[in-house]
């Protein structure tokens, strides 16, 4: 059976949700071959999850330094491995890091690249949702080992217990651009925005007060997002921005509060499965894509919804 390479993103061995999605997709095409870059202890932490989602084999690109050289060393090692093992296709998450590696891989392998796919058939025909979700494009790579990045949350992860063979490949640290120090982001208890199943976002309408947004997100067990107006004003960190120049998200539920729905915001959330809107202005364009829209004040509607959800959960 053909080998479908899956690049596994992780933080200190904690595997990103995208890996379970990519492994699920890989199994529908061929044998899932997981590739993870980092140390042996990262690998040990990751193996149980990779087995749970049906990896047939796992390769560790081993280097203690690899995390200090964002993408070039990984791309070189991954390209060599894909060539020597005859990969049929390489799947990566459509995240900032995934795309950086993917671009390099395509150059090294002289292969075609498709980014932000939301589906992929066994014949490797990909579907992309473009122009803010208004158009679906089907394309296929015609040269090389196809390099395809898959949008987070586009594939429903399905477990398939297995026990993968493990191999380690030493990677030489290639020092070009290097990270000299880090200030890790303070992570709250909320899920990661790009992985979240539920997102509650606030915009200019919050007037800087995100408390009702955060409380509703917490009641729903979701992540908090923001429009660019809100991040530009410094009300919420840039890493929470949804839209053209922020994250593209596709959760089961997206709740937009006090957001008008500019085309650049919609570009990042329009493919969410269910969209709920709370906005004072009945003419706001965001209502055009709402499954459930409330014309009202978010400072009244959101707290009432939060209380209602808490009451139900008991």
Partner 1 sequence: MKILVCVKQVPDSWAEKKLSPAKVLDRESADAVLNDLDEYAVEEALRIVEANGGAEAGHTITLLSMGPERAQEALRKGLSMGADAALHIHDGALAGSDALSTSRVLAEAIKKEQPDLILTGTESTDARMSVIPSMISERLELPHLSFAGDVQVDISAGKVVTKRMTDEGVEAMEAPLPAIVTVIEKINEPRYPSFKGIMAAKKKPITQMSLADLGIAPNEVGTGGAWSEVKDFALAPARGAGVKVVDEGSAGSALVEFLAEKRLI
Ligand X SMILES: Cc1cc2nc3c(=O)[nH]c(=O)nc-3n(C[C@H](O)[C@H](O)[C@H](O)COP(=O)(O)OP(=O)(O)OC[C@H]3O[C@@H](n4cnc5c(N)ncnc54)[C@H](O)[C@@H]3O)c2cc1C
Is residue 134 a contact point for partner 1 (CB under 8 A)? yes
What distance in Å separates the CA atoms of residue 257 and residue 260, rounded to the nearest whole number? 9
Is residue 106 a contact point for partner 1 (CB under 8 A)? yes
On the 0-12 / 13-18 / 19+ scale of CB atoms within 10 A, 91 is buried
Residue 54 contact, options ligand X, partner 1, none, Cβ 5-8 Å cut-off depending on partner type:
none
Q: Supply the minimum distance, in Å, between the C-beta of residue 74 and partner 1.
A: 11
What distance in Å separates the CA atoms of residue 194 and residue 200, rounded to the nearest whole number? 12
**In this structure, are strands 113-120 and 31-38 parallel, antiparallel, or unpaired?**
unpaired
Q: Are 31 and 55 spatial neighbours (Cβ–Cβ below 8 Å)?
A: no
Token look-up 């459509």 returns 94
With residue 254 as reference, give the H or E element that holds it: strand 253-257
Measured from the CB atom, is 130 or 160 closer to partner 1?
130
Is residue 238 a contact point for partner 1 (CB under 8 A)? yes
Residue 190 contact, options ligand X, partner 1, none, Cβ 5-8 Å cut-off depending on partner type:
none
Q: Supply the minimum distance, in Å, between the C-beta of residue 45 and ligand X.
A: 33
**In this structure, are strands 274-279 and 253-257 parallel, antiparallel, or unpaired?**
parallel
Helix (H, G, I), strand (E, B) or coil at 298: helix
φ, ψ for residue 303 (rounded to 5)?
A: -60, -35
Residue 183 contact, options ligand X, partner 1, none, Cβ 5-8 Å cut-off depending on partner type:
partner 1
Is residue 211 a contact point for partner 1 (CB under 8 A)? no
Q: Which stretches of the chain bind ligand X, using CB under 6 A?
A: 203-205, 227-230, 241-246, 258-260, 262, 264-265, 268, 278-281, 284, 297-299
What distance in Å separates the CA atoms of residue 178 and residue 92, rounded to the nearest whole number? 22
Write the interaction track for partner 1 spanning residues 10-39; mark x where CB under 8 A is met and - where it is not: -x----------------------------
Residues 252-271 that bind partner 1 (CB under 8 A): 252-253, 263-264
Is residue 104 a contact point for partner 1 (CB under 8 A)? yes
Q: Supply the minimum distance, in Å, between the C-beta of residue 296 and ligand X.
A: 7
Q: Are 24 and 155 spatial neighbours (Cβ–Cβ below 8 Å)?
A: yes
Q: Supply the minimum distance, in Å, between the C-beta of residue 238 and ligand X.
A: 10
Is residue 113 a contact point for partner 1 (CB under 8 A)? yes
Residue 204 contact, options partner 1, ligand X, none, Cβ 5-8 Å cut-off depending on partner type:
ligand X
Q: Are 89 and 146 spatial neighbours (Cβ–Cβ below 8 Å)?
A: yes
């Amino acid at each position: 059976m053909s080998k479908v390479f899956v690049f596994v993103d992780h933080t200190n061995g904690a595997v990103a949700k995208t890996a379970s999605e990519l492994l699920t997709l890989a199994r529908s095409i061929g044998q899932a071959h997981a590739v993870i870059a980092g140390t042996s202890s990262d690998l040990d932490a990751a193996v149980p999850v990779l087995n749970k989602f049906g990896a047939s084999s796992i390769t560790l690109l081993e280097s203690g330094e690899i995390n200090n050289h964002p993408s070039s060393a990984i791309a070189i090692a991954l390209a060599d491995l894909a060539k020597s093992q005859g990969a049929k296709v390489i799947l990566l998450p459509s995240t900032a890091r995934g795309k950086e590696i993917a671009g390099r891989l395509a150059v090294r392998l002289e292969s075609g690249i498709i980014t932000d796919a939301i589906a992929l058939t066994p014949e490797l025909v990909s579907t992309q949702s473009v122009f803010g979700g208004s158009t679906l494009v089907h394309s296929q790579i015609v040269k090389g080992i196809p390099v395809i990045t898959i949008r987070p949350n586009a594939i429903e992860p399905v477990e398939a217990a297995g026990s993968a063979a493990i191999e380690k490949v030493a990677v030489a640290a290639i020092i070009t651009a290097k990270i000299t120090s880090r200030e890790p982001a303070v992570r709250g208890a909320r899920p990661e925005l790009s992985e979240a199943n539920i997102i509650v976002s606030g915009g200019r309408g919050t007037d800087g007060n995100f408390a009702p947004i955060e409380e509703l997100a917490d009641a729903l067990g979701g992540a908090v997002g923001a429009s660019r107006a809100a991040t530009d004003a410094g009300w919420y960190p840039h890493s929470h921005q949804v839209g053209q120049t922020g994250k593209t998200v596709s959760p089961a539920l997206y709740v937009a509060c006090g957001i008008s729905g500019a085309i650049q915001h919609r570009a990042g959330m329009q493919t969410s499965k269910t969209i709920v809107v709370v906005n004072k202005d009945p003419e706001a364009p965001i209502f055009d894509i709402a499954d459930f829209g409330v014309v009202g004040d978010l400072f009244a509607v959101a707290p009432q919804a939060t209380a209602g959800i808490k009451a139900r959960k008991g």
